[in-house]
Amino acid sequence: MKVYIAGPMTGIPGHNFPAFFAAEEILRAQGHEVLNPARNGVCDGWTWADYMRRDLPMLAQADEVHVLPGWHNSRGARLEVHIAHALGMPVREVEP
């Protein structure tokens, strides 16, 4: 199953990448193919909208979305969850 990781990045030290990579390890160990937007890195001069334009097509390839703690506080993650629901994708919390 392909799963997309959604969670907060903006304003978090290191863009919260350690949490994204930890979740990726957990999900891979559970047998999932993981779509991790943190793997795309940071691009100088990019805006929030630039990142969303890059990451949303990846989300559309997923079967499920798995959210990180604090996703409710992230404008991008809330949008990703909204789109997942609109597309009929299950949304689950990342569980160890």
- The predicted pLDDT at position 85 comes to 98
Predicted pLDDT of residue 37: 97
E strands, the chain, in order: 2-6, 33-35, 64-67, 91-93
52, containing H or E segment = helix 48-60
pLDDT given for residue 56 in this prediction: 97
91 burial type by CB count under 10 A (0-12 exposed, 13-18 middle, 19+ buried): middle
Taking the model in full, what pTM does it have? 0.95
